[in-house]
Structure 1
Amino acid sequence: MLKTEIGLEDVRRAARLLEGRVIRTPLVRSPTFSRMAGAEVYLKLECLQTGGSFKVRGATYKLLRRREEMGTGGVVAASAGNHAQGVALAARAAGISATIVMPVWASAGKQEATQGYGAEVILAGDSLAESISVAKRIAGDGRLFIHPYDDPEIITGQGTMGLEILEDLPDPDVVVVPIGGGGLIGGVATAIKGLKPETRIVGVQAAACPSAHQALREGRRVRVEAKRSIADGISVKEIGEANYPIIRQLVDEVVLVEEEEIASAVLALLERKKVLAEGAGAAPLAALLASKVLVPKGGKVVLLISGGNLDPPLLERVIRQGLMKNGRIMRFSACIDDVPGSLARLLGTVAEEGGNVLSIHHARGGLDHSLFRTRVELEVEARGFDHIDEMREVLEARGYEIVVR
């Protein structure tokens, strides 16, 4: 059996040190998702953690363990978002300075949040790996560098979630955890397997960046090409060196989810549970609802909702895509006579059928219709695909030529 750098007692020590310094996040049962999955589904709401994600656990533990080794310069880290905020919060609580290197494409919202927690932000690097290299150079002047995932103490701090899960639910059959660099699942698996070795640990990655999935398939760490993903928090091209042996030994399976599945899960959490989760945090639910995680009928499954830091512009796009995929938005165009009353009659028909107009646009002067007609493009709120079909049938029966987008 592989020997890893951390164990259950290390995680227990971290939990004692973090008590009162981080939030003990709730574990809640979801009746809706339980019915949908045919199992008892529980959500570990780490999106309610200070800073909006689990990252503050590992960062705080790292600082507490290394406080005496730090010089006057404080700490340096690299991150595109959640780790940046976790380190900034931990440094502020410890009364030390923090410098965070973020990729040049990091969202303005995450930059502002990190600065708001008291850290200095430096934009450098076209990738997280480049930002990490810059941060390490800055740390060469005596400051402590805090890696976002490839660090035994970071892994240990994240593992305290596993202890909390078992304290609230002593006998889970499956625990589903998102994987990026591997620090979160490495710590959680260490804690849970140390106490309940029969519990299955399932990792979830976006298919757009399957680094852990590929590593387990090939039996070694590999660097993969990454496509853009709404689960940017787990878009890590190569899992950590310290994390790989833990994942190989303790994680039972790694599954992949597609972008549409993640977007649907974000929307489902928001609508059904009033929980705002970022793409990475919603990935476990995406895997469950897509039947990619095997759970015994009536069994107990815990989904680790790792964070809720979803930028508003992306949230808007995710919601819109999810609504369209679920038949909640009908987008169509129709040609009408360009005379008073024509538009009112069209909108009246939509209203009679229970459709709510979200947006409307006149497209005059097109080559596909005469000078005396105009094309109207509408987005209409619907109750589902059956409702869309009903509205389309009525509109066509009244003489409208409908083109559904």
Structure 2
Amino acid sequence: MQLDQIPSIDDARGAVAAIAGFINQTPVHRWQGRMLAERLGPDTQVMLKLELFQRAGSFKARGALLGILALDDAERGRGVTAVSAGNHAIAVSYAAQALGVDAKVVMQSSANPARVAAARAYGAEVIIGGDGPACFALAESIVALEGRTFIHPFDGHNVTLGTATLGLEICEQAGPLDALIIPVGGGGLASGVALVAKQLMPDCKVYGVEPEGADSMSRSFAAGEPQRLDKVQTIADSLGPPMALPYSFGICRANIDHLLTVSDDAIRSAMRLLFDEMKLAVEPAAAAGTAALVGPLRDELAGKRIGIIVCGTNIDPKTHADLLREKDS
């Protein structure tokens, strides 16, 4: 990866201007409440970046928009394709509709029907393609046969540049932070947010959080190069890519201070805490940062000023209720 391929702060500010008409500047909210104070103590300050209020329901809209905006007229005319279990497909479908481009997205057979319906509601053609590897193979064939541009779900310059715009927002909105906690799947979110945070808040310690059953980035850090998982098993399917890839891995490795994992049970408990006290109905991926804070990072970050990225919430009421019911059983 060449240094000139890494987005600068000026690049991120330019990207903010490019997508400003198509996204929400999502709020940062200080979490104050009895339940949180009981777990962390009264002196710990927690700032939630509420990216679940983003258009299309997650941070993914930022990179999808930049990916399509980068196309020339001929490429736009041929359309785009994508692979996703949910959030990325919805984001690409939204971005394509907003920019007047045709989208054909491939979704895994395990995708929640509500997410499939959301992608179709934005006008995309949805193809159900089996498991992750089968979906990627199908998308490659669509690119070859139809000339569509593949919009990657978590790796590449436009993905990182998109999430860098989120990083700018939280740095400007939250004020100085001692720590920033970011959910990690393939590393697209963490790469851009951590890259900006380390430049604008160099004393802020950046933590990445993965599900125990989808720890490809942790294994990649340990090995010193991107790794692939034989199996992914987690309720946080938005954090479940089976591999890390060079671009996002390299930026994450350079800017994340510490990676840790949390269990599915811890994620369910964090979902319940966010629902009970903040009245936020989040998907499992969006609760990973909270799970880390009230769990393995509780003592280390006591009394600190902490930011957490609440990355999205494309979840239907029944699935949310079922996951909380499993936590209680």
Please say whether Structure 1 and Structure 2 have the same fold, judged by a TM-score greater than 0.5.
yes
- 1:321 lines up with 2:322 in the alignment: no
Instruction: Please state whether the residue corresponding to 1:59 is helix, strand or coil.
Output: helix
Distance 1:211 1:294, change over 3 A: farther
Distance 1:76 1:2, change over 3 A: closer
Instruction: Please state whether the residue corresponding to 2:21 is helix, strand or coil.
Output: coil
Provide the rounded CA distance (Å) in 1 between the counterparts of 2:60 and 2:281: 17
Provide the rounded CA distance (Å) in 1 between the counterparts of 2:259 and 2:127: 34
Residue deviations 1:67-104 (CA, integer Å, cap 9, x gap)? 43514221111111000000000010111111001112
Deviation at 1:34, TM superposition (A): 4.9
Using structure 1 for the length normalisation, give the TM-score. Answer: 0.76
Provide the rounded CA distance (Å) in 2 between the counterparts of 1:276 and 1:43: 14
Deviation at 1:313, TM superposition (A): 3.4
- 1:95 lines up with 2:96 in the alignment: no
Distance 1:125 1:19, change over 3 A: same
Question: Which one of 89, 110, 135 corresponds to residue 131 of structure 1?
Answer: 135
- 1:118 lines up with 2:123 in the alignment: yes
Deviation at 1:105, TM superposition (A): 2.2
Q: How many residues align?
A: 323
Instruction: Please state whether the residue corresponding to 1:72 is helix, strand or coil.
Output: helix
- 1:153 lines up with 2:153 in the alignment: no
Q: Which has the higher helix share?
A: 2
Using structure 2 for the length normalisation, give the TM-score. Answer: 0.93
Aligned to 2:186: 181
Aligned to 1:357: none
Q: Is the 8 A contact 2:228 2:242 kept in 1?
A: yes
Provide the rounded CA distance (Å) in 2 between the counterparts of 1:69 and 1:147: 19
Aligned to 2:32: 31
Deviation at 1:125, TM superposition (A): 2.9
Provide the rounded CA distance (Å) in 2 between the counterparts of 1:63 and 1:293: 40
Aligned to 1:376: none
Instruction: Please state whether the residue corresponding to 1:118 is helix, strand or coil.
Output: coil
Deviation at 1:8, TM superposition (A): 2.2
What amino acid sits opposite 1:37 in the alignment?
Answer: L
What amino acid sits opposite 1:308 in the alignment?
Answer: T
Provide the rounded CA distance (Å) in 2 between the counterparts of 1:262 and 1:243: 24
- 1:252 lines up with 2:238 in the alignment: no
Provide the rounded CA distance (Å) in 2 between the counterparts of 1:145 and 1:274: 37
Provide the rounded CA distance (Å) in 1 between the counterparts of 2:212 and 2:129: 27
- 1:234 lines up with 2:227 in the alignment: no
Deviation at 1:292, TM superposition (A): 2.9
What amino acid sits opposite 1:124 in the alignment?
Answer: G
Instruction: Please state whether the residue corresponding to 2:247 is helix, strand or coil.
Output: coil
Identical amino acids, percent of aligned pairs: 34
Instruction: Please state whether the residue corresponding to 1:229 is helix, strand or coil.
Output: coil
Residue deviations 1:337-383 (CA, integer Å, cap 9, x gap)? xxxxxxxxxxxxxxxxxxxxxxxxxxxxxxxxxxxxxxxxxxxxxxx
**Larger relative CO (CA 8 A, sep 6+): 1 or 2?**
2
Deviation at 1:57, TM superposition (A): 0.7
What amino acid sits opposite 1:130 in the alignment?
Answer: A
Distance 1:89 1:279, change over 3 A: same
Question: Which one of 61, 68, 71 corresponds to residue 63 of structure 1?
Answer: 68
Aligned to 2:8: 7
1:232-381 equivalent positions in 2, closer than 5 A: 232-292=237-297, 295-324=300-329
Q: Which has the higher strand share?
A: 1
What amino acid sits opposite 1:245 in the alignment?
Answer: G
Instruction: Please state whether the residue corresponding to 2:48 is helix, strand or coil.
Output: strand
Q: Is the 8 A contact 2:232 2:242 kept in 1?
A: no
Provide the rounded CA distance (Å) in 2 between the counterparts of 1:73 and 1:296: 49
Residue deviations 1:233-254 (CA, integer Å, cap 9, x gap)? 0011211221111011111011
Q: Is the 8 A contact 1:2 1:245 kept in 2?
A: no
Residue deviations 1:231-290 (CA, integer Å, cap 9, x gap)? 010011211221111011111011100011000011111111011111111000001111
Provide the rounded CA distance (Å) in 1 between the counterparts of 2:73 and 2:197: 31
What amino acid sits opposite 2:216 in the alignment?
Answer: S
Instruction: Please state whether the residue corresponding to 1:156 is helix, strand or coil.
Output: helix
Residue deviations 1:152-200 (CA, integer Å, cap 9, x gap)? 1111111111100011122011110101110000010111112112211
Aligned to 1:199: 204
Q: Is the 8 A contact 1:74 1:98 kept in 2?
A: yes
Which structure has the bigger radius of gyration? 1
Distance 1:159 1:139, change over 3 A: same
Aligned to 2:17: 16
Q: Is the 8 A contact 1:175 1:199 kept in 2?
A: yes
Provide the rounded CA distance (Å) in 1 between the counterparts of 2:315 and 2:157: 28
Q: Is the 8 A contact 1:267 1:318 kept in 2?
A: no
Query: Which range is displaced more, 141-150 or 81-90?
Result: 141-150
What amino acid sits opposite 2:308 in the alignment?
Answer: L
Provide the rounded CA distance (Å) in 2 between the counterparts of 1:85 and 1:283: 21
